[in-house]
Amino acid sequence: MAAMEAEIIRAALADAFPDAAQLEVEDRTGGGDHFQVTLADPGFDGLPLLDQHRRVNDALGPMLRDGSIHELRIRTRVPTKGTS
């Protein structure tokens, strides 16, 4: 199984969450199959944490199903609104 590049995951998430205020993907072990995703998206507003994580998992579904991603840690939040 080939190692997954963090940039491929980042691109898939950027496509799925085009309005994301924050999107970070970290290869936690350097082996290309354990990742930490941090995502702040306004579309998460009003969604329970489980549903936020489900949306991330859905966006990465093919990579999770084929084993390219062995472990995925997810941190999601609604971006804070700035004041002018």
Domains and CATH numbers, the chain: 6-77 (3.30.300.90)
Between CA 17 and CA 37 the distance in angstroms is: 13
Between CA 84 and CA 40 the distance in angstroms is: 20
pLDDT tens series, the chain, 84 aa: 445 689 999 999 999 999 999 999 999 999 999 999 999 999 999 999 999 999 999 999 999 999 999 999 999 999 987 633
Radius of gyration of the chain measured on its C-alpha atoms: 13
Task: State residue 81's pLDDT score.
Answer: 75
Task: State residue 15's pLDDT score.
Answer: 98
| CA dist 73 → 12, 27, 44, 68, 84 (Å) | 16, 10, 17, 14, 34
Which of 80, 82, 63, 47 is closest to 37 using CA atoms?
Answer: 63
